[in-house]
Structure 1
Amino acid sequence: MAFSSYSAGEKPFRVSMLLLGLLMSHIGASGAIGGCYGRNGNNLPSQAEVVSLYEGNNIRQMRIYNPDQATLQALKGSNIQLMLDVPNDKLQDLVDSAKAGDWVQQNILAYSADVKFRYIAVGNEIHPADAEAKFVLPAMKNVYNAIAAANLQGQIKVSTSIDTTLLGKSSPPSEGTFRTEANSYITPIIQFLAQNGAPLLVNLYPYFAYIDNPAQISLTYVLFTAPGVLVTDNQYQYKNLFDAMTDAHYAALEKAGAPNLEIVISESGWPSEGNPAATVENAGTYYRNLIGHVNGNTGTPRKPGKAIETYLFALFDENLKPAGTEQYFGLFSPSKAQKFSNNFRLKELLQVSDGL
């Protein structure tokens, strides 16, 4: 996990049944909300139960952080579209093209007739100074080549998931740029993505921006509750920090020579416990408004009308994570009970379409 004025990582939250209803809704071929399925707990339901939970609640997209075979088996025949991670500790292995081919064969091709793979995230939140950084792009290329050899490159996009600490400047959004020391790492990755029509995956958490700088960032700006425009950036006007952070990355991509590269928000969330700002009320407000914003298909000021595909982290509370907010990001408790209950009727809030 990364912490900075605009940072990211794997996080927790609570939402009400209203929010869960919004989570399950989709807006057709242009955008959707997905759910991240982390498994860092010793009291979680079986993988088959989890897939049934997704299906029963019309959650159409899933991110998993390693190729768990039981999860892949459980996904067979479902309509759930999958983002599958190559774990960071496997990146060096996949620099070997033969090992990459084996990995793709065992974890993707063996299931591709029955599992709807959408993205392969080759590494999560790797930083330029990390030992794994030099393995990311070669591993991406080898995974792509193995997928292309099976003629699946049009269906399955190969990318990597970054956090927002790679930006050197992000405010105002139009001045967004990657850090100088990150350029040699991220620029070739951006070029590879642009060449192959894949999006950049970004883990994006306004919550961490807020708690790092509450004196200058208003809570209404972070929670989508500002009554009007709070930030004017040339011709762009911002009512919420999520859009501003997203557009800062779009601006950085333009400066890196990839103005048409798309962004997928591969994680976003707000914790409900473990910090004064991590309250049930704040988490509920953030998720309700984020889901409504994404499903409204309004895009961002820099990319108006362009849906922001977004994955919420996470499905369950995970009790093996570090103590504090990290353990409380679940939409559901390990018992599969929704963490919030009130008078809302979930099924009446669902707006299911054909997905992406």
Structure 2
Amino acid sequence: MAFSSILTTNKAHMASPLLILGLLSSLVISGVQSIGVCYGRNGNNLPPASEVVQLLKSNGITGVRIYEPNQPTLQALKGSNIEVTIGILNQNLQPLTNPATATEWVQNNVRAYSPDVKFRYIAVGNEVHPGNEATNHLLPAIQNIHNAIKAANLQDQIKVSTAIDTTLLANTFPPSNAEFSGPASSFIKPIITFLANNGSPLLANIYTYFGRVDTPNDISLPYALFTSPGVVFQDQNTKLDYRNLFDALLDSLYTALEKAGAPNLQVVVSESGWPSAGGTEASVENAGTYYKNFINHVKNGTPKKKGAIEAYLFALFDENQKGGDEIEKHFGIFNANKQQKYQLSFN
């Protein structure tokens, strides 16, 4: 079975700064990790922020990721006890290479709402790729935001990171061969070192859907949906058995981090999902199967690393004004009327 490109097919087109989803941080409840949800606002039919926060609370969702500061959303989150990952768009990184601007950003968007809003992570940039000018600004922006958080004495509560996708990896089959690609290494390795030195996790957006539709001859639908009846392949270097693509993707990232000198760096799965319409194999049935199995699966970790994984579903709502391919409008786990598409339990 040729899996040579299982990690290079990803949601790269969703790396747009317009990504509006949120991801929520997880808590450990009776030894089981809760699941977060990404909250995007790219729709003209979505409920107001106050109703969204009540929806999160009523469904036991304990964290949310937003992709940029939004005052109504942050106001609605006050006193909710929901943990928040707040993002900085790629096009806004360059000004933050100025320490004073980074300090002002933290003052306006974090300190102005804390402690009434429980911030957990700041995601500086989302899916920055080699060749993008944002690579030149990413590490300085991360450092300056971190220093501003530290100056505010919030470094023990709020961790500063960035979100990557798996297109930064090469040699990904089997997972034990994976490494960061040459073009990616020059900008991502210093960031990994900084995160490791400061106790921050790396955020990673991981999608099995794109591996399936981009390489259908290599990736079966059951392998992508966690429904394979048995072992699909064994990594002969590690003797670890793989039954689903998600584990192979995440273990490939763990391997690349080891080779980059950060074997103990925590990975938070900051996005994962499956579209319910708009493209090949995009259906309510497949999406429901994916989300349910994903929630159950991340309680136990991967073949390489056992233990609950902090993970966030993409996304809270369908977004009918989102650009790009049609599928990008159909990742919601709730309809705009706040009814679940799928019967999911988030704890």
* Match of residue 246 from structure 1: 250
How far apart, in 1, do the equivalents of 2:210 and 2:109 lie? 34
Shift of 1:8: 2.8
Which amino acid letter does the alignment assign opposite residue 64 of structure 2? Answer: M
Tell me what 1:189 maps to: 191
Deviation of the 1:30 alpha carbon: 6.4
Runs of 4+ in 1 over 2 A off after TM superposition: 3-6, 8-11, 24-32, 337-340
**Contact 1:5–1:213, Cα closer than 8 Å, also in 2:** no
Query: Partner amino acid for 1:158?
Result: V
Query: Corresponding residue for 1:7?
Result: 10
1:273·1:328 contact (CA, 8 Å) conserved in 2? yes
Q: Secondary structure at the match of 2:264?
A: coil
Superposition pairs for residues 336-351 of structure 1, below 5 Å? Answer: 336-340=338-342, 351=347
The answer for the alignment partner of 2:105 in structure 1 is 103
Query: What is residue 79 of structure 2 aligned with on the other side?
Result: 77
- State whether structure 2 residue 68 is matched by structure 1 residue 66: yes
- Name the CA distance, whole Å, in 1 between partners of 2:162 and 2:8: 22
SS at match of 1:197: coil
Contact 1:147 1:153 in 2 (8 A): yes
- Tell me which moved more, 322-331 or 239-248: 322-331
Give the whole-Å Cα distance in 1 for the aligned partners of 2:8 and 2:261.
25
Unaligned runs of 5+ in 1: 12-23, 352-356
One-letter amino acid of the counterpart of residue 278, structure 1: A
Match of 2:318 in 1: 317
Give 3-state SS (helix, strand or coil) of 2:321's partner: coil
Q: 1:27 to 1:215 in 2, by over 3 A?
A: farther
The Cα shift of 1:338 comes to 2.2
In the alignment, residue 8 of structure 1 is paired with which amino acid? K
- Give the length in aligned residue pairs: 328
SS at 2:85's partner residue?
strand
Distance in 2 (CA, whole Å) between partners of 1:236 and 1:112 is 44
Q: Which residue of structure 2 lines up, in the alignment, with residue 17 of structure 1?
A: none
Using the TM superposition, give the Cα deviation of residue 275 of structure 1 relative to its aligned residue in structure 2, in angstroms.
1.6
Corresponding residue for residue 331 of structure 1: 333
Of residues 26-35 and 88-97 in structure 1, the stretch that sits farther from structure 2 once superposed is 26-35
TM-score by length of 1: 0.88
Q: Percent same amino acid among aligned pairs? A: 56
Mark the CA change 1:71 to 1:260 in structure 2 (over 3 Å): closer, same or farther.
Answer: same
- Mapped to 1, the partners of 2:30 and 2:112 lie a distance apart of 28
SS in 2 for 1:160: strand
2: CA distance between counterparts of 1:131 and 1:38? 25
CA spacing shift, 1:350–1:39, aligned 2, 3 Å: closer
CA change 1:57–1:126 in 2 (3 A) is same
| Residue number among 257, 264, 268 corresponding to 1:264 in the alignment | 268
- Shift, 1:25, TM fit: 9.8
Alignment of 1:1-356 (within 5 A): 5-8=8-11, 10=14, 27-28=29-30, 31-233=33-235, 234-294=238-298, 297-304=299-306, 306-322=307-323, 324-340=326-342, 351=347
Task: Name the residue aligned to 2:23.
Answer: none
* 2: CA distance, partners of 1:49 / 1:55: 10
Q: What SS does the aligned partner of 2:249 have? A: helix
- Check 1:186–1:5 CA distance in 2 against 1; reply closer, same or farther (3 A cut): closer
For residues 26 and 108 of structure 1, the distance between their equivalents in structure 2, rounded to whole angstroms, comes to 25
CA distance in 2 between partners of 1:6 and 1:30 (Å): 30
Task: Let me know the Cα RMSD of the aligned residues.
Answer: 1.9
Is contact 2:7–2:169 with CA below 8 Å preserved after alignment? no
Given that 2:271 and 2:312 are in contact with CA atoms closer than 8 Å, whether structure 1 keeps it comes out as: yes
CA contact (8 A) 1:6 1:204 kept: no
Tell me which residue corresponds to 1:14: none
Q: Deviation at 1:217?
A: 1.1
CA distance, structure 2, for counterparts of residue 26 and residue 8 of structure 1: 28
* Counterpart residue identity of residue 310, structure 2: E
Runs of 5+ consecutive residues of structure 2 not aligned to the other structure: 1-5, 16-25
Which whole-Å deviations, capped at 9, do the CAs of 1:152-172 have from their partners, x for residues lacking one? Answer: 111111000011100012111
User: Counterpart of 1:52 in 2: which secondary structure?
Assistant: helix
Offset, 1:350: 6.5
Separation in 1, partners of 2:240, 2:308: 17
- Opposite residue 238 of structure 1, the aligned amino acid is Y
Q: Distance in 1 between matches of 2:317 and 2:57?
A: 16
- Pairwise CA distance, 1:228: 1.2
Per-residue Cα deviation, 1:293-313 (whole angstroms, up to 9, x for no partner): 12xx32111102x21111111
For residue 159 of structure 1, give the secondary structure of its aligned residue in structure 2: strand
The question of whether the paired residues in 2 share the 8 Å contact of 1:5 and 1:212 is answered with: no
